[in-house]
Chain A
Amino acid sequence: MNKLFGGLVGGGTACTVQLELRPGSSGAAAGRPATISLKNKRDETETMPLFSSKDTIAGEVKVTPIPGKRADHQGIRVQLLGEVELASERGYPHQFLSLVRDLAPPGELSTQATLPFEFGSVEMQYESFRGSQAQVRYLLRVTVAHGMGQSVVKDHPFWVRNWQAAPQVGPPIKMEVGIEDCLHIEFEYDRGAYHLGDTVLGRIHFLLVRIKLKHMELEVRRRETSGAGTAARSESETVAKYEIMDGAPVRGESIPIRLSLHPYDLSPSYGNVFNKFSVRYFLNLVLVDEEDRRYFKQQEVTLYRMSPEEEAAQPGGRLPRRMLSLPATPTSSTAKGEGSAAAAAALAAAGVGRIALGSNGAGGGGGGGAQQAAQAAPEGGHLLPGGGSEAAPAAAGGSGEAAVQAEEQQAGQQQAAPLAAEAPAEAPAASAAAASPLGDGSSA
């Protein structure tokens, strides 16, 4: 029996409220409720009970008056609350779930009262989540009512995780991107959806390299979007950073990607949480050249949580997928990847990819080129030149988020506006909306 102590002394009437949970269905086998250890923002570890949807949450509340004192109350009840709180509206959570059990009618307590409660098969649609923009939390609130605002309220948070069925894996993500006559790569991730303990496998083929690369890394970025329509706000953060290449490759080189997701603090992708926010994940491929310019390309992936049983039943056993890498056969376009303008045009015509020229030095021309290419192959992706500093990608990412809504107009804006990368220091949100030529293919 796990005990959660939460002592609180009310204003005049002093009593202590304790809440003990009985093991729910999830932890039943183990004979105790499952718990989870989390790190909060202050980097402290807290431990919380863990439930999932359709679990029965049962336990008992113990109310102990201060010895020798009588405590009268106007009723004791326990609530199960599910709330969405947005950073922008701190303190005003939106409740999407509220269940109440009255445990005792108004009366007096002279000794400890043990009051069992049970919420049977609670539908907890959303997973607990703590993000920078929004959080989803669940709690059990015990209220010993008193008049005059002197109620004793005690919150017992708990954590909810829901297993999901694996979504459609879909075809591998494959894309050719590049900067005209400078860099031309084709990258490939084996799937579009990964479970949280999964390994991202992939491969990058360098079809043309005319800039001196220093290294290449793969980032996992989380984008939380709150609000809707014009009021939508997005915030991105980089959850994982993983160097996948050191030094400058030559044409025809093929670099393997193998990124284990499980060491990182990830959540599944949430499409829509109570109409308040969404969480999406992106794999961001970043190439850094010798002058610290960053060229990047984001690609959305769906993350989902797989039930432990399923995970254990994955094929491969001792040699899981993380052992393997994608076969080194480049796609058909390698043959054409001669790097000439002709090849680029051919690619554009084939609709395989879109090539946007955009290095720091040639912003204006790059815009034009990008637009041209965009018209030829609107479905394709292009590689983004980014800023020189560490702060820049986040800024660019953030600005990109804002630009999602205006996807259609972007090509038009692009040719007028200087590229964000040109002045990475002044990249922040104000100028970024128009500046970044973020053409995230998958979001189109």
Chain B
Amino acid sequence: MEQLPEDQRAWLKDAQQAVKRHGFYLRKAIDDDNMKEALRYSAALLGELRTSLLSPQKYYELYMQACDELRNLEMFFRDEASKGRSHADLYDLVQHAGNIVPRLYLLCTAGACYIRGSEAPAKLILRDVAEMCKGVQHPTRGLFLRAYLVQCMRGLLPDTGSQFESEDGGNVVDALEFLLVNFTEMNRLWVRMQHQGSARDREKRERERQQLADLVGKNLTYLSQLDGLTFQLYRDVVLPRVLEQIVGCRDDIAQQYLMQCTIMVFPDEFHLGTLQQLLGALPALQPGVRVHSVLSLLMDRLANYAASEKSVVQEMSQVDAFGQMSSVALKVVEQHPEMPAADVAAMYSALLGFSGTVYPDKLEYVDLVLQTCYNALQRRGPISEPKAERQVVALLSAPLEKYDVVTVLGLSHYPSVMELLQPRMKREMAIKIVQTLLKSGTQVSGVDKVEMLFSFVAPLVRGMEGLEDLLDEEDVAEDSGLLARLVHNLRARDGDTDAQHAMLAAAQRHFLSGGPQRMRHTLPPLAFCALETVRRVAAAEQAGAAPQVGTAQWYAFLHQTVSELAGVPAAELALPLFLLCALSASEEAALEATAYEFFEQAFVLYEEAIPDSRQEVRALHSIMGTLNRCYIFSGEERAALAHKASSYCSKLLKRTDQCSAVLAAAHLHWQPAPPAAAAEGAAAAAAEERPPARDEQGVMACLKRALKLANAAQQQLAVAAKPRPRAASRAAAGGEAGGAVAGPPMLAPSPSSLFVEILNHYLYFFDHGCTLITPAVLQSLLELVANEMSAEACKEDQPLQAFYANTLQHIRQQKAKGGEAGARYEALMQAAALVQAAQLQRGASCRRQAAVQRPAARLIAAIPAALSRPAALAPRRRCRPACAASAAPSVDVESARKLLDGAVTVIDLRPTGWYEESRISKPPRKSVNVPFAAGGDTAGFVAEVARAAPSAAARLIVMCGDGGADSAAAADALVAAGYSSVQVMEGGFAAYSAVWGPSGKRRPPAGRWVSTGKEALKSGLNVPGAAESYTEGGDLKSARWAQGFSDGEGLKL
């Protein structure tokens, strides 16, 4: 029977009113002290509870109301007793009610008074009332009746220590018995609810049942609240009975709810003591019960319990809590083969959580759980539903957080469980593993561990089948980034370099299988890691130790790694790495041939693989910088390398780049003294043999070339009249202003800054005792630079000026230092004088620049030719108003309308599509469509018009879309063609149609009702639309059009 909510409400309202009415009479009877009437009205009131119409929720409202009224009766009963009426009489009297539902409510009430008055032993009354309540077998009514019973009797139970406990009145056992019996009966009623009504309403009924769950659960709550409930009683009486009922009822909802309820209400220590019984019930539950949630609840409780009290853990071990739980989990899974994978996983993660909290040191438990879980899940095939996937991931993540990652991964069943996941989830899991590892900073040592780790993170290392499509580049980069970070956690124990080599080799092998996209990210850290280790190896070798994996092998490893990287291709990464390797080989391992090989590779890369000139510059500077730091090479080899590097300089594209590169190359001829730190190492010996290569001639040649190049660049600039790139000068100024540093500016410097740059280099070599640079040379250079700097453009360049000023400051400082160096500077002109000189020349310089600069050519945007787009697609075209001026006079829409009534032709210039859509249609045959746009085929247009209006004296109005350039051009063309009377429609068709409707009538103002439709009404007919179309003479379509409806809407008649 489908009951509508409105019906429900109406019924409830009726019933409530009846209850209210009877309640009123009841109170009146009580006031009159009339027992008979009081009973009569209370029975009538309770009679409303006999309804079957209400849903449980509505019934509950009614029940509550009735209970309120019953309270009055209860008070009355008590009063009566104090007046001398015996409770036994009352108890008897209430049973005369003919209907069972009211009778039993009254019986409960009277029974409660009976017990309270201590006239009868509580146990007897309780037993009797509970028994009599069996008479109500209707689930809803029975549940509420028994709920009322429990509520009445709650405080009257012969609990231990209560006033009702006595020889006759019974003890806590009787109280338990009462509650248990009531619980059993209520549960039976509750379960029975599901069989009522048709299968169609099943869902609704289950919802209703859920609402009633609390009524049943209350019994358990009260049970747990009994003071006399000892563990003994719980174990021997309560739990077996409760479980028997729960298991026996064979109902999903009830079992689920009651198991959870049992776990929730009774104390933890009880659960611990009766774990076996409790768990024993789980496999017996119905398949539909979410056992995992029950189990999880229990495990969570016990885990919390264990966490709060340490002594409990001992106890738990004694009862083998874990073993029991896991075996139950196993049983559950076996018995419910159709249990969804998500539930299985959830259950096992709860188990894991439990074992993690209670036995943090027993890793074998984790493995055991994983094993059983794997067995359970395996039968269900690969996990694909999202919920299950999430659960499995949670399951796998749980131990990662609690235990050492590497140890967990080492569990024999961890990978098998992971294997069940889809590639996508495997990837997520791998990410989680790596993240956890990185977070905890766990070191992975040992090849086997590395291998194992990589087997887990395989989805990150290489592309998985079915996963490529899902990942974009960013994802891959992210994954690889994680792996890259992971590399630094691979660390052999006790600095064992051999082991380290093996591990890195293993990692390399895995990384190489990842494809270029990943290798770009994963190989560099590997190389750095190896470089870090090779330093230790070299140190060890020098100390006399002989690691199995010698430096040579390490370099071979590095060579391979970087070559692979170069092959990715990622030359911009590989090249610096080669250089680093070379430096390392040279300075740490003193392996000349190896270093040379690395340089060679770097050069090859430079020549072949650097695609971008910007990168080229940067790479070249790196090469030269590194070369300058390598002291291992013999003269020839060094010369060969230096020569090669220098030769690259001239191959750069930009003059400025060439210039700075040449400046850097100058340093190749003037190797600085080896650093003190390196002097202690292997390179020290070599350095002693081979003093730093210095060639003053070479230096001078380079510097001179740089000057030349700077000049050339200056001229180039003058030719192009390029504005000064501000970023470049800023970068130049960003360099060390002291001037002694050879660090090249990263971006192309401006020619002016190049001069300062060159000056700096001169000063550097001057400082370092290059004899070929004399004060005279410097002096002339200073003058040149001062001259350059006084130029107008340079004046404005603040960073450049600062750079220059700092350079001069350096000279002053050197001078002030005195001594040998100061003496050399003495010869230089005063800086102030230099500035002075520069300022004198300023005017001339300005003029020169002005001459160079040409007035900027004015860019005139090309006017796009009018495109003939399809009318439907084209936006309303607007002509440029500037061009709208025309020789022909214009006519406004008002006059045009008048003209239209005479002999006049409108030349409609709009595209055909628009014309078809709407045009001047009244008066008829007045408009001609001759599409034309300004700049179009004038002759063709005129010819076309001539066809429509052969006479040159014909009065024409040209009209385009908006009265712009098109109509002006057309009018001009027509005037030129000899038409004497050509006018231009002001505002074009848009303006016209805004005022005049297509019927030639004035459009009504928007928003005003213009017709009363009198005619239509007078005729006695209520013709639909008659009033609406009044002004249009009955034409509804045009009337609606006139109202301004757009195309699609409103025109349907």
Contact = CB atoms under 8 A, between A and B. Distances in A.
The judgment on whether A and B are partners is: yes
A271 interface: no
Interface string A249-278: 110011110101001000000000000000
A247 B96 contact: no
Interface string B129-171: 0011011111101100000000000000000000000000000
A10 to B, nearest CB: 45
Contacts of A244: 100, 135
Size range of the interface on A? Answer: 20 to 34
Given A244-B100, A246-B50, A260-B92, A253 B132 contact: no
A245 B100 contact: yes
B92 A241 contact: no
B137 A246 contact: yes
Max count, chain A CB within 10 A of own CB: residue among B124, B128, B135, B188: B135
B96 A246 contact: no
Interface stretch (A155-163, A322-330, A364-372): A322-330
Nearest to B135: A245
A253 B137 contact: yes
B250 interface: no
B128 A323 contact: yes
- Helix, strand, loop or mixed for chain B's interface? helix
A245 B131 contact: no
Contacts of A320: 88, 92
B99 interface: yes
Given A246-B141, A248-B137, A319-B120, A258 B95 contact: yes
A255 B124 contact: no
A247 B136 contact: yes
Nearest to B138: A247
A246 B144 CA distance: 13
Contacts of B236: none
B854 to A, nearest CB: 107
Given A244-B100, A319-B124, A255 B134 contact: yes
A246 B91 CA distance: 21
Contacts of A249: 137
A260 B95 contact: yes
A322 B137 contact: no
A181 interface: no
A318 interface: yes
Given A246-B101, A260-B95, A263-B96, A253 B134 contact: yes
Contacts of A119: none
B99 A325 contact: no
Interface in B80-112: 86, 88, 91-92, 95-96, 98-101, 103
B87 to A, nearest CB: 9
A245 B137 contact: yes
Size range of the interface on B? Answer: 20 to 34
A253 B138 CA distance: 12
B100 A243 contact: yes
Contacts of A250: 137, 188, 192
A318 B120 contact: yes
B128 A255 contact: no
B122 to A, nearest CB: 13
Contacts of A324: 128
B119 interface: yes
B131 A319 contact: no
Contacts of A247: 136-139, 141-142
A86 B102 CA distance: 40
Contacts of B188: 250
B88 A255 contact: no
A64 B142 CA distance: 68
A323 B131 CA distance: 11
Given A246-B100, A260-B96, A318-B119, A325 B128 contact: yes
A246 B138 contact: yes
A254 B100 CA distance: 15
Contacts of A318: 86, 88, 119-120
Contacts of A242: 98
Max count, chain B CB within 10 A of own CB: residue among A243, A250, A253, A256: A243
Contacts of B98: 241-243
A319 B138 contact: no
B131 to A, nearest CB: 5
Contact of B135 (A241, A256, A260, A319): A256
A409 to B, nearest CB: 38
A318 B88 CA distance: 7
Max count, chain A CB within 10 A of own CB: residue among B134, B136, B139: B134
Contacts of B132: 256, 258, 325
Nearest to A213: B137
Max count, chain B CB within 10 A of own CB: residue among A247, A248, A254, A263: A247
A328 B120 contact: no
B131 A328 contact: yes
A328 B185 CA distance: 14
Contacts of A260: 92, 95-96
A325 B119 CA distance: 19
A365 to B, nearest CB: 28
Contacts of B142: 246-247
A279 to B, nearest CB: 23
A354 B100 CA distance: 30
B816 to A, nearest CB: 113
A143 to B, nearest CB: 43
Given A258-B95, A319-B88, A248 B120 contact: no
A328 B184 CA distance: 15
B92 A254 contact: no
Given A319-B124, A325-B128, A255 B135 contact: yes
Max count, chain B CB within 10 A of own CB: residue among A242, A246, A263: A246
Contacts of A255: 134-135, 137
B91 to A, nearest CB: 8
Interface in A121-161: none
A305 B120 CA distance: 29
Nearest to A264: B96
Max count, chain A CB within 10 A of own CB: residue among B92, B103, B131, B192: B131
Nearest to A242: B98
Contacts of B131: 256, 325, 328
Interface string A12-26: 000000000000000
Nearest to A322: B92
Nearest to B92: A322
A323 B124 contact: yes
B105 to A, nearest CB: 12
Nearest to B142: A247
B866 to A, nearest CB: 86
A214 to B, nearest CB: 9
A220 to B, nearest CB: 12
Contacts of A256: 131-132, 134-135
Interface in B943-986: none
A249 B137 CA distance: 5
A124 to B, nearest CB: 32
B145 to A, nearest CB: 9
Contacts of B124: 319, 323
Contacts of B103: 243
Contacts of A215: 100
B134 A246 contact: no
A263 B94 CA distance: 11
Interface string A347-363: 00000000000000000
Interface string A399-441: 0000000000000000000000000000000000000000000
Contacts of A254: 134
Interface string B268-311: 00000000000000000000000000000000000000000000
- Which 3 pairs across A and B sit closest by C-beta, in order of nearness? A247-B138, A247-B137, A243-B100
10 contacts: A241-B98, A243-B99, A247-B137, A247-B139, A253-B137, A260-B92, A260-B96, A318-B120, A322-B92, A323-B88
Interface of A: 215, 241-250, 253-256, 258, 260, 263, 318-320, 322-325, 328
Given A250-B192, A323-B128, 8 more contacts: A243-B99, A246-B50, A246-B136, A255-B134, A256-B131, A256-B134, A322-B92, A323-B124
